[in-house]
Chains A and B, each alone.
Chain A
């Protein structure tokens, strides 16, 4: 510990003039190398930043003597370093000096993308480059009139210290108009001949509206194709942090909602989309046909349809909601956690699962991707209604005496209306085709409960299954 303290006392402190002062870093680094001062003995900072009092100039670094050998570094390093120096990471100047120190002995180290320091340098440079690019893309000028005529003013908050580095781009592009870019750290003003720098500003200092924005908004909303929603792709390139600087992004929520409404509207007129003449004539035909069914959005999500299974003349049909993650993987209904709960209860009630036709109200797995996981999402009423075509087909072919519907979605699949499970469970409904329907909860509901609540619901579920056994016994 004491050695560290001594070193810290002996450290050379370098305070650069501004956060983007790459030239200052280069000058100091050249002198430090010439004086043989190792990276561990240097502390880097920026004047006016947090611990500025620590940085009382760079006293102690000798000016590069005339006799010192010229320091040569590759252009590749200088290019990367020039970008990385603009990063907001406080350790950036230290990283640059450490790399420079190593490059003296191993000049080709800079090509080695597997070296951790080189990788870090490349990462910082890439992030700065992206920020520079996004500023060029997302600055939005608003027109105002002042004494000198028309002026275009934008407010933008970049992530890194890139404003000065980007000034040239805006001059090259907009030299013939007068403009200002206001940012939290500084502002740029162009008056047709000279670029001036001013202090930082806030969003409220920029104009609040612009004559062309209504037209731009209409364009933004019209060029969008609602038939291909790819929100992830949009967010990757235009992350939310930029939205406050881009007025058109206020439309996005409505555009997405509109695209989804369009989808739902197409689903709701879906009844006519099945052709009665093509009704499958066997359970195998249904199993085949659902694989290619694209009549609702779930069918189009790239998952595999899961067919019902069991004896073709089963007396009981058990209907769940939809296949889950495990079911979709294995291609069989009720093989995941909820399936195990179901199997256990069926066994306790004395119902042989192998003797029942086990299926789902919806044949495809509806989910929301969350990282590597696929989170279950409930099907909408419209989607269940579309998929009734297949469930109706199974009912007509199996002709069960009893249908056990697990949960509200299954209930809707059988009844065509969404039942209130809490009120209607355990009661039987006589169906038009002569079968009896028994409604109960979905086993996955039990999985979501703990302790007392779980025990209570397990009992209710078991009681409902006893009703089923009773119906079957009555014959």
Chain B
């Protein structure tokens, strides 16, 4: 198709004029971006989902949010890049042993001004690199001073630039509650890291932090989120408060907490603070590590199993006690099989499940049936008696399911009672799950 003439017509001839050089970030700024992004990557969350829907169709502000966030790129570590994840500074007066930015660590330090973070966010957003900003910070001068700076970034984006993209602010539990509250007014999501699953671990590894202070701040945020949601239902223009809710992160493997303790803590957090997510971060040996820490990191598989158990709690109707029942006697989730299969192998009397008659809750317990396959089964069985061939179209592996299900043309004989069932069902590990650490 002849393009040249058309370009002249709509005024795109400027493509010849060369590229755009205004506002080119200075080398020094790019260096600091490198340091402060590197320091931020130990926060696992990059979610930009679940907030209020906004757009800038009116051509006034910048940005939009939908139900689901968008991953704008993926890095070779397999993680999604959705938000510009930065620390305002990695200077810190705290000395938490697991943290690469602790006072006694020898890393290169840098800081941004709030204005610099605002400009980076807008520049990236305009080019469709990101969904928004996830800002955290080391503690400089005081908790209040740091919190003020974080809030100022969010305020400037929202008020001065009418930014309608996603903002996640990490809040500092030691700061003045009024400042923490302001964060919720500008941000879509707020989070406070509980850091370690046990109060003992926190006291030992994060001497400047206090479990009660963290709990208090999380409780205040939870209250404000509930109130704002309620007000939003009564008054159309009620101010929003963190519409994407609150999340937290726990480090796995830095202290001696078992999976049972971690799952117990997580279910408590979900219940007490109505959290959207609990993130688990397998402790990874950090440059210039503290001598108090274990030298080896836990297998990444442990983090994965914890997330699977988290899914069982949130989407599959398992009670926390049931997830604990799937664990080994030492309170750890098995690494060779997933927690759902582990639970099924312990409670074999609950199987086989008749796929043509069982209620949804029972179908969700079948190892190998996910929420989508269950949905498909419930729809399909309204039309016909489900057979193994139908199952094959809805799931990835019928072989795995056979011992646990009854269909119109299949009934397992003694399979569920077999001693070697676990060995037969445990996946052969083919991928490298843990790199050298």
Task: Give the B-binding residues of A (Cβ under 8 A).
Answer: 108-109, 111-114, 119, 133, 136-148, 150-154, 169, 171-177, 180, 189, 192-193, 196, 198-202, 205-212, 214-216, 218-234, 237-238, 246, 248, 252, 255-256, 259, 263, 266-267, 294, 296-297, 300-303, 369, 372, 374
Contact = CB atoms under 8 A, between A and B. Distances in A.
7 contacts: A141-B128, A171-B57, A173-B128, A246-B73, A252-B76, A294-B434, A302-B433
Interface stretch (B118-126, B257-265, B306-314, B347-355): B118-126
A139 B130 CA distance: 11
Contact of B34 (A138, A218, A229, A231): A218
B19 A208 contact: yes
A234 B78 contact: yes
Contacts of A189: 10
Nearest to A171: B57
Interface in B43-95: 55-64, 70-81, 84-85
A228 B376 CA distance: 35
Contacts of A108: 382-383
Contact of B72 (A113, A138, A211, A212): A138
B72 A137 contact: yes
B75 A223 contact: yes
Interface in B362-394: 376, 379-380, 382-384, 386, 389-390, 393-394
A152 B127 CA distance: 7
A134 B379 CA distance: 29
A180 B3 CA distance: 14
Contacts of A109: 383
Given A255-B75, A303-B429, A114 B380 contact: yes
Given A223-B85, A230-B77, 19 more contacts: A151-B14, A174-B56, A174-B126, A200-B3, A205-B15, A210-B19, A215-B123, A218-B31, A219-B37, A222-B35, A223-B41, A224-B75, A237-B80, A259-B76, A267-B436, A297-B435, A300-B434, A300-B437, A303-B429
A211 B24 contact: yes
Given A175-B57, A180-B12, A301-B432, A222 B34 contact: yes
B419 interface: no
A72 to B, nearest CB: 19
Contact of B56 (A153, A172, A208, A220): A172
A111 B382 contact: yes
Given A200-B1, A302-B429, A255 B76 contact: yes
Contacts of A136: 70
A228 B77 contact: yes
B30 interface: yes
Interface of B: 1, 3, 6-7, 10-15, 17, 19-25, 29-31, 33-35, 37-38, 40-41, 55-64, 70-81, 84-85, 120, 123-124, 126-129, 284-285, 296, 300, 376, 379-380, 382-384, 386, 389-390, 393-394, 429-437
Contact of A145 (B20, B84, B123, B376): B20
Given A172-B64, A210-B127, A228 B12 contact: no
Given A144-B20, A210-B20, A119 B383 contact: no
A439 to B, nearest CB: 30
A302 B59 contact: no
Contacts of B124: 212, 215-216, 219
B62 A174 contact: yes
Contacts of B41: 222-225
A369 B430 contact: yes
A455 B393 CA distance: 50
A209 B41 CA distance: 27
A223 B81 contact: yes
Nearest to B9: A198
Contacts of A214: 24-25, 30
Nearest to A263: B436
Given A140-B129, A232-B78, A300-B436, A238 B284 contact: no
A223 B382 CA distance: 48
Nearest to A262: B436
Contact of B78 (A138, A201, A209, A231): A231
A301 B430 CA distance: 8
B57 A114 contact: no
Contact of B60 (A144, A176, A255, A303): A176
B383 A111 contact: yes
Contacts of B19: 142-144, 207-211
Contacts of A200: 1, 3
A248 to B, nearest CB: 6
Centre residue among B127, B376, B383, B393 by max chain A CB count within 10 A: B127
Given A143-B127, A147-B14, A218-B30, A113 B393 contact: yes
Nearest to A213: B127
A375 to B, nearest CB: 11
Is chain A's binding surface mostly helix, strand, loop or mixed?
A: mixed
Contact of B74 (A176, A207, A238): A238
Contacts of A151: 14
A442 to B, nearest CB: 24
Contacts of B434: 294, 300-302
B284 A225 contact: yes
A200 B6 CA distance: 10
Contacts of B78: 228, 230-234
B300 A211 contact: no
Given A112-B380, A222-B37, A300-B436, A237 B6 contact: no
- List the 6 shortest-distance A-B pairs measured between CB atoms, nearest first: A233-B78, A230-B78, A146-B14, A172-B55, A302-B429, A222-B37
A33 B96 CA distance: 71
Contacts of A142: 19-20, 127
B62 A229 contact: no
Given A201-B3, A231-B78, A223 B435 contact: no
A198 B389 CA distance: 49
A223 B74 contact: no
Nearest to B436: A297
Contacts of B382: 108, 111
A211 B34 CA distance: 17
Given A218-B34, A220-B81, A222-B41, A231 B123 contact: no
A108 B30 CA distance: 58
Contacts of B61: 176
B33 A222 contact: yes
A145 B74 contact: no
A124 B248 CA distance: 38
A152 B20 CA distance: 10
Given A177-B126, A223-B41, A211 B436 contact: no
A151 B7 CA distance: 14
B59 A175 contact: yes
B127 A369 contact: no
Contacts of B55: 172-173, 175
A454 to B, nearest CB: 31
A232 B431 contact: yes
Given A140-B127, A140-B128, A199-B6, A114 B393 contact: yes
Contacts of A259: 76
Given A141-B127, A201-B3, A215-B123, A224 B30 contact: no
B379 A112 contact: yes
Nearest to B69: A137
B179 to A, nearest CB: 27
A302 B429 CA distance: 6
A99 B248 CA distance: 47
A153 B127 CA distance: 9
B431 A369 contact: yes
Given A141-B128, A146-B11, A302-B429, A215 B33 contact: yes
A230 B75 CA distance: 9
Contacts of A208: 19
Contacts of B300: 228
B246 to A, nearest CB: 23
B17 A145 contact: yes
A329 to B, nearest CB: 9
